[in-house]
Structure 1
Amino acid sequence: MSIRQLTTLLKRRNTILLLLCLVAFYLIWFQLAGLRILEGSDGHHSDQWEERVSKELQALRLQASQMREQLTRLGSDPAHWRHADLATIYVVTATHAVPTQKADLVRLMNTLSHVPNLHWLLVEDAAHKTDLVRNLLRRSGLVYTHLNVPTPPEYKLKPTDPRWKKPRGVLQRNAGISWLRENLEIVDANGVVYFADDDNTYSLELFAEMRDLQSVGVWPVGLVGGVMVERPQVTGGRVTGWLTHWRSDRAFATDMAGFAVNVRLFLNHPTALFSLESQRGFLETDLLTQMGVTLDDLEVKADQCTKVLVWHTQTLKADLKIEKQLAKEGKAPSNAGIEV
């Protein structure tokens, strides 16, 4: 389904809402009719009718719930599809189960909710989709796709490993890329793909900057690589190198948050993916090289790369020493029965 088709569908929201009203009316009518039948029947038939009415009401409530959920997935808030002429931004986010996962995702979700024509591809690093992520997406009001793929144990970081020791989110980002290639009938070929970590901080200006990309757009990233900012070196409106402390000799010495790619590049290079075998810091370079991108192809954004619109912030590891003490004492965890 294209953006225009989705827009047309959203224009039919009044029809869907009318159907919901009819369902509600039918529920009330059915309840009253069932009561009248029960009043004029003997005890045996009364039990049968009561059971039948209960089942019918349960089925109708389920249908109404499914219709409400569909409205949410299509963006029940029209802000997400208000501008039919804008290209779609596909935000691919890898996420995994840590105590701060929901907090990180809620923060990112709240940012994305202000961006029109956006499709969130949220990919869990897990063998199965979790209720935590599923419920968050259903309540988000965003257009989304929920995916999952586990990282093999040998490629996972150990608790004592530094974050940079092994590439993270590789297979999850690849799952998002593959989804785009496998759903050509509903993907906006003029769209843009952006790989957004769940614990970064994003200015809304960034999404406006990347919207019209024809190839690969680049911009500075704050608080990354041990310095205040890493950024492309721009001369005469084009990228001539990279202002970064670590391995500035990389062909594309940018952070994952520092670039976005036009969808067509992924479609025209069907084998281009991130690699688990990439050297430290070369995930971005290896991907863009596979698509034949050169410095001349890069589109300079963020006022000639002089503005920082994204920051590589990192959520602190949650201090749960008291939880560990509770477990040692055989006591229930503080979050028993509640999602945090």
Structure 2
Amino acid sequence: MPPGGGKPMAKHAPIIGSLLNNRRPLLLGFCFLLGFLLGVFDTRRFEASFPDAVSHSFPGQALEDEQRGLVGAGASRILVQQQLPAQPRLEAPVQLLIVTPTYNRPFQAMYLTRLAHTLRLVRPPVLWIVVETGWQSEESVALLMRTGLMYRHLVVQQFSPQHKDRGVHQRNHALDHIQQHALQGIVYFADDDNNYSVELFEEIRKVKRFGVLPVAMLVEGAEKTTIEGPVCAGGRVIGWHTSEESAAQRRFHSDLCGFAFNSSLMWEPGGEGRRRNAPVRFRDNIKEGFQETTFIEQLVGSEAEMEGLADDCREVLVWHLRAEAARDSVYPTSWMLRASMNITTPARTPESIREP
């Protein structure tokens, strides 16, 4: 048969098939041995050979790998257990119970908006308890819904004309709500017309039972700003600074926004052997200027029970601003214009600007 024919190859086919059949056990044995060696061989020692490789592991996996001993093919590894340093236990922030009396007036929307923006910067949890008299005004309802804050909008019934201070009944209504629902947290009275720094609310979170801090009094046209409140040393209250003439008659000289307390004080027995015969509330029959001290006297008996805040009572974090619009001021309902304003000065065209 000339070269290129197929028949001579056919004669050798049985011989090749016989050789493959004879070597099959050898090939199977080689494959088994290769698989066994790959199974027991520690390939992780070569991770450093690939600097661009990125290893992803879950928390605790690295420690688990170090503690796992691998023994195979005559090799053994002795590993030393390493203890990770204990992680600090994170405690949830204390809840703040911010009580704000308010009423319908020209500055209400501006005051509530300003306070809402401040509270939005404070770490949660913060519960804003807003109290109105008579009814919930449409303006305040819409404003509170837009804040994104956790709030409770309460209404206290209209008080009679002989009552001296509407805020007394609004704050007491908020205290009733706190006690009725046993709300745990630090209570702070934040009137809507004051100015508050964000740091203030972090300070009052430090209160264990009853804390105090200074307040700046801002009066339009005054020659200087008055700062009133506690004088502290080492976190202890050692005295008070006040400019009011009635100071000698008051026991504690703190402004309403100059103290904060743990809500549990309202349902705990009085300290220093005192017994409470009535709930802790503001009194409506108290002379003006004495509301704060008579309220504080129901919570603590002396300065020894107080905690000085705000860098040992030296940092001012709240400003009491005494400014209001006239009672008969006219302003748009909900501060929304029903129609565009009249033009009093028309816009100038580029041509008119170039004219001499």
* Superposition TM-score, scaled by structure 1 size: 0.63
Number of residue pairs matched by the alignment? 235
Offset of 1:199 from its aligned partner?
Answer: 0.9
Structure 1 equivalent of residue 308 of structure 2? 300
Q: Which amino acid aligns with 1:210?
A: I
What is the CA-CA distance between 1:296 and the residue it aligns to? Answer: 0.6
Residues 68-116 of structure 1, C-alpha deviations (whole Å, 9 max, x = no match): xxxxxxxxxxxxxxx9700100000000111111111111111111112
- What is the DSSP-based 3-state SS (H/G/I as helix, E as strand, rest coil) of the residue aligned with 1:248? helix
- Structure 2 match to 1:142: 149
* Residue correspondence of structure 1 range 1-340 to structure 2 within 5 A: 85-116=92-123, 117-125=125-133, 127-155=134-162, 166-184=164-182, 187-188=183-184, 191-223=185-217, 227-246=225-244, 247-249=246-248, 250-268=250-268, 271-317=279-325, 323=330, 337=338
Aligned-residue offset at 1:337 = 4.5
Conserved 8 A contact 2:179-2:266:
yes
Identity over aligned pairs, percent? 36
**1:298 and 1:109 mapped to 2: Cα distance?**
29
Distance in 2, Cα, partners of 1:285 & 1:278: 10
Whether the 8 Å contact between 1:151 and 1:171 is mirrored in structure 2 is no
Shift of 1:228: 2.1
Q: Gaps spanning 5+ residues in structure 2: where? A: 1-89, 270-277, 340-356
Residue identity opposite 2:194 in structure 1: N
Identify which range, 258-267 or 236-245, moves more after superposition: 236-245
List, as ranges, runs of 4+ consecutive aligned residues in structure 1 with deviation greater than 4 Å: 224-227, 318-321, 334-338
Are 1:238 and 1:299, in contact at CA under 8 Å, matched by a contact in 2?
A: yes
- Quick one: distance in 1 between partners of 2:158 and 2:119? 26
In 2, Cα distance between the equivalents of 1:223 and 1:292?
A: 25
* Cα distance in 2 for residues equivalent to 1:137 and 1:151: 22
**CA RMSD, Structure 1 to Structure 2 (Å):** 2.8
Q: Is there any run of 5+ residues in structure 1 with no aligned partner, and where?
A: 1-82, 157-165, 325-331
Per the TM alignment, residue 224 of structure 1 is displaced from its structure 2 partner at its CA by 5.4
- Partners of 1:224 and 1:230 within 8 A in 2: no
Which whole-Å deviations, capped at 9, do the CAs of 1:221-257 have from their partners, x for residues lacking one?
A: 0125875211212245421221001133322111111
CA contact (8 A) 1:221 1:231 kept: yes
Where 1:115 maps in the other structure, the secondary structure is: coil
For residues 311 and 248 of structure 1, what CA distance do their matches in structure 2 show?
Answer: 20
What SS does structure 1 have at the residue aligned with 2:322? coil
Q: Select the structure of larger CA radius of gyration.
A: 2
Counterpart of 2:103 in structure 1: which amino acid? H
